[in-house]
Structure 1
Amino acid sequence: MNNKAILAAAILGTLAYGQTAAAPHAVETVIVQAARVEKDMKDIPQSMDYLSAEDIEKHRYKTVADAIKSVANIVLPELPGDYSYIQVRGLPRHLEQTNVPIYVDGVPQTSLYGLNLLLKDVESIEFLRGPQGNTYGSNARDGIIVITTKKQGNDPSASFELGVANYDQQSGTVAAGTALIEDVLTAKMTLDYLTRDGFVENTHLNKSVDPKEQRSAMLSLHWTPSSDWTANLYLDHTTIESGVYPYVKDDPKTERGDDLKSATDIEGLFDQTSKGAALNVTWTGLENWRLSSVTGIRKIDTFGRFDAT
């Protein structure tokens, strides 16, 4: 083989290798909702974190606080009476309103009570860092958390989950959904229950100080009368009966084997009822425009009785 033939073979081999190396690889497209309109994640011009349904299931996140633990430089301390706040990069917090609002399917959750939501049928959790005032208003000083739930299809679906743990903890979740009018109206309902003994024993009354019983019910209706209109109605009701919950953390740092005791002649009570309703209506009749209206109401009643001495 002469030199010209060798050179030609080398050039052809190089071209073939270049074409093979340049072959495009399949890249998964992640569509996010945090910008108020659906966008590819790579088109969001801000720092953001994204948790998929697979991430939530893999790590068994049960609440918003569980999920936030996986995000750098953000914490959600759980304070007495189910009072919670989100803090980013150590920035000062507001005592009466959250600086990082949580939106569930476009509906704001702005109360510091009940902010640590249960994660049920969640499709994704998105966290945008930094001020989001242009899109979400002045309360979004440090960022925004957007939770998107799974949409119910025409086919009926159902699931249930049962659990047991130490301190005689028993839990159960049932979720079911179906189409009431095919391609137009769907409904989804979730029932959740948890009960457990307390971690601290009251030796005077011979019973635990901080037992807990929690019941939740959630109902959502999704209406799509046309390609331009969608509406979501969300109803929820939660009751918590938990002894002196404000003074005994739900997940104390002390070891479970520690012999924790107290002696008071008053049976502590801390009961809380949360009821909410929200209607989210969206119109997309114009290209590149999306108009949304959100109306919501929430009522939280709390009753506590305990010996604080």
Structure 2
Amino acid sequence: MTLRAAPRARRRALTLAVLLGGASALAVSGAHAQDAAELEELVVTAQKRSENLQDVPISITAVTSDSLARSQITTLGGLQTLTPNFQVSDNVSVRTVYIRGVGGGGRTVAFDTRTGIYLDGVYIGQPMAADAVLSNLERVEVLRGPQGYLYGQNTVSGAVNLVTRAPVDDFEGRLTAGLGNKDQQRLDGMVNIPLADGKVMVRLGAAYDHRDGFIRNTTLGEKVDDINSRSMRLQVRMQPTDDFTADLSFDYSRQLSHKVNGEALSDTFNSGPPAAPADQPFVIDDNYPEFDYNRNVGGALTLAYDLGAVTLSSISGYRDSARTWNVDLDHSALDLAHFNYDDSYQTLSQEVRLSSNDTEARLRYILGAFFLRTDGENDRRLTYDALGVLFGVPPGSMIRTNPSVKNSSYAVFGAVDYQLTPTLIVNSGLRFNYESKKLTLNQSSDVGPPISNIANVLGFKDELSESSVSPMIGLTFQPTEDQTYYGKYARGVKSGGFNADYLTTQALGGPLRLGKETVDSFELGAKFTAFERRLRVNADVFYARYSDYQVSQFRVVPNSTPPRIELALTNAGEVETYGPEVSVDAALAPGLNVNLQAAWLHAEYKEFKDGGGVGVDYSGNRLEYAPEVTASATVDYTRDLAEGMGAVTSRLTVSYRGDQYSDTSNAEAFHQDAYTLVNARVAWLAPGDQWQVAAYADNLLEEEYQLGTAPDAFTTLFGRYGAPRTYGVEVTWTY
């Protein structure tokens, strides 16, 4: 294997050198095409008001709509190539966001996520629903570190803001049509219409995406892991007066794929490799038809009334998400068992804010109140098929769990900035939160020991209520308008929950509640621009300690026949993370911009006694999905052609993700090697920029890499491979 790999690695290195060298040569030849080299100013709303990114004392990456398009980013996971210390995992059936190595949560309705996702200020909650709203965006903001004082509980690792492009008082239109390999077909369109003399504006967008799968199912004779998604968004902005704005929005999406849980990396009972040809990447032999169907509906009403000294804002939101997921449990051609999952979430939220308007005042503030109501239900069924008789289990026998949780959260919050001197600002924030959760659990099993010891439960109920305080205090020093230095302390809280995931009789006899998790975070940062806005550098170093860290695990039951997994949901003792992060933007020449991003991360379970079961200490293990090094380099080049010929733009992105583990045990079976991806795009813009034709290629060098490994119910090891090379062309018309 080594002898074959070395020439391939050399070829990749040579190809990469040629690409980078070509970009540099192109830059030199076209340097005269632009009048001046200058970086674009980035405006963000990370602190719930519009500010220059360089003035915000937060570690934040902002990706504009243009950058999303140039990088072909249509999913939340696609942001990984442009954002350090940010990762999205789709393993173990649940999409999970990790920021600074901290993620998890969301597998059941009783276990909240650690990263908050917001669409125009409305809490989305489930990361599975986020991809549905990644069209017609103005920008995406990734906030690293706990954001509890402004965003509330369950943002202990950070927050992701999805900000849409608002309707405007001009007629606009855009249509993008794309074709790619694997029969990819993509349409993305938008129209903006002003009405009533500009007092009412309507923006309607829709998107369609289809692609055949990369994975070949030899048993069913199908290509799976396909994409079939549709989405639409309607936005209406009403401005009857200069002081009042009302924004109404509605969105709908549906997503369907036929392979969701990865490929078998072992045989069914993890005693050897899977049977050929399923021992190859992108080949499976599952006999049960699988699919993953997601439906998302949402609506929001945002009101803003300018009262002069202050602005009164109201954000009302509703989200309804449903998922149906069917999986071949034995990951083989055996007719042994399969899973059926049906999940649903309904979320109602209301936020009211009062914000000061004078950005030059010594005292600036935001005061607010927040309410959230979530109703969630899981209905998950494990059914034994014909070969269940080999274990003495009649075909059709079922193990079923059906938890539901009603969650109500109330909060008041505030953020105050006070300018002590012309260059020194005190930043402070505080949030008080009260939350109550009510669990109802029904669980049944037709299968008993020794095959299964799942408990039979009817109408089990439990409830908890808790309050928390999330403070923030910091100092910001701005000696010039181009320099910002800050230091801050923040505390975040992840609410408690319940262990409600296939409970055994032993688990039912113990505590089912999870205690709330807290984090204390310290951060020092520097942001500055130089050389007449041709260089921008943002850097920070952070330290965070998590107490009562909530952990969800799949652990092998010792000496079980057949081999099986137990699900453990516990509070680990302590987790520690720290490291530096840096982002550099440089306008090297007219039309040539370079962005460099890098982060080094230490993420460790400082205390996790009995992490692998009684007497098995995981203290000192690395956190899962926490690579030590993440980095990327992006080169953008634009050159005007001869008069009347338009212009050419190009982007080359090289992203690196270090090795990592996908399991708390840090066992070798769950070790993922480091990998490097190269993505490229070239576009021709017609004179007047009305037409654009682009060609792109992602994973240009055909890197083969894994995204994570996990054990399934029979201890089968399964995992996902990253997508191989994809390429295509797009035509965009803009009015």
Q: Which TM-score band (shorter chain)? A: 0.7 to 0.9
CA distance in 1 between counterparts of 2:61 and 2:326 reads 41
Query: Is 1:49–1:71's contact at 8 Å kept on the other side of the alignment?
Result: yes
Correspondence for 2:300: 278
**Residue 224 (structure 1) aligned to one of 229, 239, 248:** 239
Matched, 1:205 2:220: yes
Partner of 1:8: none
Give the structure with the larger strand fraction: 2
Between the aligned partners of 1:50 and 1:214, the Cα distance in structure 2 is 26
Q: How much does 1:189 deviate? A: 1.3
Residue in structure 2 matched with residue 70 of structure 1 by the alignment: 82
Where in structure 2 are there 5+ consecutive unaligned residues? 1-36, 265-279, 331-735
Return the alpha-carbon distance in structure 1 between the equivalents of residues 158 and 219 of structure 2: 48
Q: Is the 8 A contact 1:64 1:118 kept in 2?
A: no
- Give the Cα separation in 2 of the matches to 1:126 and 1:263: 41
Query: Is residue 202–residue 235 contact of structure 2 (8 Å, CA) maintained in 1?
Result: yes
- Distance in 2 between residues matched to 1:76 and 1:259, nearest whole Å: 21
Aligned mates of 1:261, 1:201 — CA distance in 2:
5
- Helix, strand or coil at the partner of 1:115: helix
What TM-score, normalized to structure 2?
Answer: 0.35
Aligned to 1:34: 46
Match of residue 99, structure 2, among 85, 88, 106: 88
- In the superposition, relative to structure 1, how do residues 163 and 37 fare at CA in structure 2: closer, same or farther (>3 Å)? same
Name the CA distance, whole Å, in 2 between partners of 1:146 and 1:197. Answer: 31
Are residue 192 (structure 1) and residue 207 (structure 2) matched?
yes
Q: In 1, distance between residues paired with 2:96 and 2:281?
A: 31
Instruction: Report how many aligned residue pairs link the two structures.
Output: 275
Residue 162 of structure 2 aligns to which amino acid in structure 1? I
Match of 1:131 in 2: 146
Question: 174-183 or 185-194, which moves further after superposition?
Answer: 174-183
The SS at the match of 1:98 is coil
Residue in 2 that maps onto 1:175: 190
Judge conservation of contact 2:261–2:327 (CA < 8 Å) in 1. Answer: no
Task: Name the amino acid aligned to 1:55.
Answer: S
The AA in structure 2 aligned to 1:114 is A
SS at match of 1:195: strand
Deviation digits for residues 72-129 of structure 1, max 9, x if unmatched?
Answer: 1121223465x32221211353343332222222222222322345532222222333
Q: Taking structure 1 as reference, are residues 216 and 180 closer, same or farther at Cα in structure 2, changes over 3 Å only?
A: same
Amino acid at match of 1:294: I
Q: 1:263 to 1:116 in 2, by over 3 A?
A: same
Residues 100 and 145, structure 1, Cα contact 8 Å, conserved in 2: yes
Equivalent pair of 1:84/1:115 in contact (CA under 8 Å):
no
Counterpart of 2:121 in structure 1 is: 106
Q: 1:232 to 1:98 in 2, by over 3 A?
A: farther
Q: Is the 8 A contact 1:173 1:191 kept in 2?
A: yes
Q: Do the aligned partners of residues 197 and 128 (structure 1) sit closer, same or farther apart at CA in structure 2, a change above 3 Å counting?
A: closer
Structure 1 residues 272, 46: closer, same or farther in 2, change over 3 A?
closer
Distance in 2 (CA, whole Å) between partners of 1:303 and 1:156 is 40
Q: Distance in 2 between matches of 1:181 and 1:36?
A: 30
Distance in 2, Cα, partners of 1:106 & 1:191: 21
Q: Which residue of structure 1 aligns with residue 322 of structure 2?
A: 301
Which moves more between the two structures, 91-100 or 188-197?
A: 91-100
1:36-51 correspondence to structure 2 within 5 Å: 36-51=48-63
How far apart in 1 are the matches of 2:327 and 2:40?
Answer: 54
Distance 2:148 2:40 in 1: 30
Residue identity matched to 2:101: G
Q: Does structure 1 retain, via aligned residues, the 8 Å contact 2:167–2:236?
A: no
Is 1:267–2:278 an aligned residue pair?
Answer: no
Q: Which has the higher helix share?
A: 1
Indicate how the Cα distance of structure 1 residues 139 and 173 shifts in structure 2: closer, same or farther if over 3 A, else same.
same
Q: Give the 3-state SS of the residue equivalent to 2:149 in structure 1.
A: helix
Alpha-carbon distance in structure 2 between the residues aligned to 1:184 and 1:161: 28
Q: Which deviates more from structure 2 when the two are superposed, residues 231-240 or residues 199-208?
A: 199-208
* Distance in structure 2 (CA, Å) of the matches to 1:80 and 1:276: 26
d(CA) in 2 for partners of 1:211 and 1:53? Answer: 25
In 2, Cα distance between the equivalents of 1:223 and 1:29? 28
Conserved in 2, the CA contact under 8 Å of 1:274 and 1:301?
A: yes
Whether contact under 8 Å (1:106, 1:280) holds in the other structure is no
| Aligned equivalents of 1:178, 1:80: Cα separation in 2 | 44
**Residues 70 and 210 of structure 1, relative CA distance in 2, 3 Å threshold:** closer
Give distance in 2, aligned partners of 1:211 and 1:40.
Answer: 40
Deviation at 1:231, TM superposition (A): 1.9
- SS at the partner of 1:134? helix
Q: 1:178 offset after TM fit, Å?
A: 0.8
Q: Which residue of 1 aligns with 2:313?
A: 292
Out of 151, 166, 171, the residue aligned to residue 156 of structure 1 is 171
Q: Which residue of 1 aligns with 2:31?
A: none
**Unpaired runs of 5+ in structure 1?**
1-24, 250-257
Determine if contact 2:132/2:296 at 8 Å carries over to the other structure. no
Q: Which amino acid aligns with 1:302?
A: R
Cα 1:154–1:207 shift into 2, 3 Å: same
Shift of 1:183: 2.6
Cα distance between partner residues in 2 of 1:259 and 1:53? 34
- Cα–Cα, structure 1 residues 132 and 283, in superposed 2: closer, same or farther, change >3 Å? farther
* CA deviation after TM superposition for structure 1 residue 141, in Å: 2.0
TM-score, scaled to structure 1: 0.78
CA distance, structure 1, for counterparts of residue 140 and residue 204 of structure 2 = 20
Alpha-carbon spacing, 1:248–1:154, altered in 2? closer, same or farther (3 Å): farther
Cα drift, residue 193 of structure 1:
1.0
Whether contact under 8 Å (1:80, 1:246) holds in the other structure is yes
Task: Give the C-alpha shift of residue 136 in structure 1.
Answer: 1.6
Does structure 2 retain, via aligned residues, the 8 Å contact 1:80–1:245? no
How many angstroms apart in 1 are the aligned matches of 2:223 and 2:40? 51
Moved more, 185-194 or 94-103: 94-103
